Amino acid sequence: MSDAGGLLVAAALAQGCIEAALSGGKAAFPAILLLACHLSVGVFLLLRGRNGRLAPDRLTLRVFYGAPEVLFAAGLVLFLFSFIYALNANMDYVQRFIAGGGRLRLAADSGRERWTAAARFLPLMAVDVWMAAAVRLRYRRLTRRILGPHPALRTAALPLGLVSSLLYALSFPSFAHVEGIAPLAFLCLVPLFLALDSVSLPWGIFCGTAFGVVQSILVNYWLGTFSLVSLQFCVLIAFLDYLPFLALTLPLARRFPDAAWLLWPAAWTAMDWLRSLGFLGYPWGMLGTTQYRFLALIQVSSVTGVWGVTFLMVLCNAVLAHSLMRRPGARAHRLEPMITLMAAFTVVLGGGALALFRPASPTGSIRLSLIQQNADPRKEDYAETLRTLRRLTDRAMAEKPDMVVWSETAFVPNIRRWSAEDPKAYPLAALVGEFLEYQKGLGTWLITGNDDYELKRDGGTEERLDYNGAVLFSPGGERVATYHKMHLVPFTEYFPFQKQLPGIYRMLKSFDVYLWEPGRERVVFRHPAVSFATPICFEDAFPADVMRFVRGGAGLILNLSNDYWSQTDAEAMQHAVNAMFRAVENGRPLVRASASGLTCVVDPRGRIVARAPLYSEEALTVDVPLAAEGLTLYTRWGDWFPVCCLAAVACAVLGAAWMAFRRRGSPRSLTR
């Protein structure tokens, strides 16, 4: 043990020298914290070692066996984050931010920043791997005593969890495959479930949480360039989601091992639903969305929402894992889980096939011209962007559209504000005047994303509230209606705790985060051909939000987005496939108009019927059939399915508590 402690101390000191050379004494806090943890564990093992032998107490043994893997997991998370975040070094707006004195230190380009990340974390991770392997090889007898008669699987628990995180990420559109490897979703959680079944409760919670955090980084890697703080908070939210989820569900699975195959999908579905609620709501990376091309399967969304597809995916994984587990005293060759799984898929696929073959009977159609200008509004070249929008719109007008659709933030200057100013005194006022004159000359409806505001008067004070909005103009140039985005991205668009947590608010502002006010009204726009709603950007990822628009009378879901900033096909596809489920859930066509990303039209069965190429200037004109169907069961009943899953888990918790109470109060326990 003293040898292991000495190795960790030496590695930490050597890495400290590398860190000082890399950053000139201005090391990143996470790297310093990781070094301190390695040094602390090394000193502890040195002090507890006795002539190179193991100290017999339980704490020392747990540190000796668990510390290398805990340190490795922490190093992996920090390395992945740093490696991905290095992309910012190539971003123009980041360079302007750095030049302006922003709180950020990056190398001159992404390549050098990634080498820095590798030099910062990989040496310590290599030491952790070597130490974990050496401990188990050198002390094999003690390992068997600590880990039980089957130490191999328990030793591999963390690697199995990390394998699951990789398979999970690859089932989505990803850096490896732009459309995702959907079949992986049927088995990606099997290694994780096997690992959780084979280890102690605390270690299982740790391995499961490590899975959740790592898969979140791998799925959402493109957030590294969304803003300067978004990926950090995404990782934090994943940790806050998975830690309590594992702490609650894993003990239940241990308490009811024969029902764990059914408990896991119910709890997982409930967790996915809960993480779509409230200020921290971020329903991204839900396993059900990987099956967007499996049309017969996803038709169940019209009854259960996307939550039903997620349930089936996790059920399949849990049943496969259950069939591979062997517990002493358990009934061999149990068929109930497999029969249940087959029956569920038979019913769902049968119903889905019937829905797909049912002929559509649209009430009419609307011709839309979707303008994809392929420009980044953060560069603030608003006049050049307007010229591009005009050129593409002029091309589209040859097809006589009923409405022209510009994306989120297509035209940034605040129309409400600058239209009231003197165009000779203010360049933005002149640009807004040019836009209004051009729109009126089109002779057709136009909707565009735009910054908006209102003045709130409270006594003698006046406060300006800024919104991310969508504005509809009539053929005569009248501003008909405005929608303000209601569900804002946490921390990067919205932070409601300015007074309660002023330190975090100041930190967000120092990283150039622009915060909006959330809208208060679900506006349904009225066009002569159709009533429609415009969820903005990632609002189309929230099933309940879009469902409420349809309940309010929307016959068409028209999403305005801007995915240009990511410059990654994976992000564009992930965003689009999330949105596709809103069409199936509500039985309404979905249209996406993106500044760049995936501009497309999706029919009520989830088929992409038209699309524009990614990251290019395009004007896509398409006739969109309007659905004649009434409200789907999902639109009528809402999120009943995840609520039922949550209720089932709550009943299991109460049942376990009651059984524990009965056992504690039994005469047998009282005589002990």
d(CA 431, CA 383): 7
Going by their DSSP bridges, the two strands 479-484 and 608-611 should be labelled as: unpaired
- ∠ CA 618-619-620, rounded to 5°: 110
d(CA 452, CA 468): 6
Its sign, for the CA torsion 506, 509, 513, 516, is: positive
d(CA 443, CA 457): 37
User: What DSSP element (H or E) covers 335?
Assistant: none
Please tell me which residue in 207, 485, 571, 585 is annotated as part of the active site: 485
For 317-351, b where at least 16 C-beta lie within 10 A, e where not — what string?
Answer: bbbbbbbeeeeeeeeeeeeebeeebeebeeebbee
Q: CA distances (Å), 115 to each of 27, 122, 334, 515, in order?
A: 15, 10, 52, 33
Strand order in the sheet with 445-458: 479-484, 461-473, 445-458, 403-405, 364-372, 618-626
- Dihedral class, residue 364 (left if φ above 0, else alpha if ψ from -120 to 50, else beta): left
Please tell me which residue in 113, 408, 493, 571 is annotated as part of the active site: 408
- Beta strand extents in 290-402 (DSSP E only): 364-372
**Sequential DSSP letters for 472-503:** EE-TTS-EEEEEE--SPPBTTTB-S-TTT-HH
Environment class of 576 (CB within 10 Å of its CB; exposed 0-12, middle 13-18, buried 19+): buried
Going by their DSSP bridges, the two strands 531-533 and 525-526 should be labelled as: antiparallel
d(CA 386, CA 407): 12
Is 537 labeled as catalytic in the residue annotation?
Answer: yes
Neighbours of 63 (CB within 10 A): 19
Phi, psi for 493 (deg, rounded to 5): -125, -20
Environment class of 232 (CB within 10 Å of its CB; exposed 0-12, middle 13-18, buried 19+): middle
Provide Rg for the chain, Cα atoms: 28
d(CA 515, CA 494): 5
Neighbours of 356 (CB within 10 A): 13
d(CA 95, CA 349): 52
Residue (of 332, 338, 335, 291) closest to 315 by Cα position: 338
Q: Are 442 and 401 in contact (CB under 8 A)?
A: no
Please tell me which residue in 316, 537, 600, 645 is annotated as part of the active site: 537
- The pair of structure tokens assigned to 587 is 């039985």
d(CA 228, CA 103): 10
Listed in sequence order, the residues at least 6 apart from 170 whose beta carbon sits closer than 8 Å to its beta carbon are: 176, 177, 180, 181, 184, 188
Cα 516 from chain centroid?
21
Is 384 labeled as catalytic in the residue annotation?
Answer: no
Q: Are 565 and 376 in contact (CB under 8 A)?
A: yes
**Residue count (the chain):** 672
Residues serving a catalytic function are: 408, 485, 537
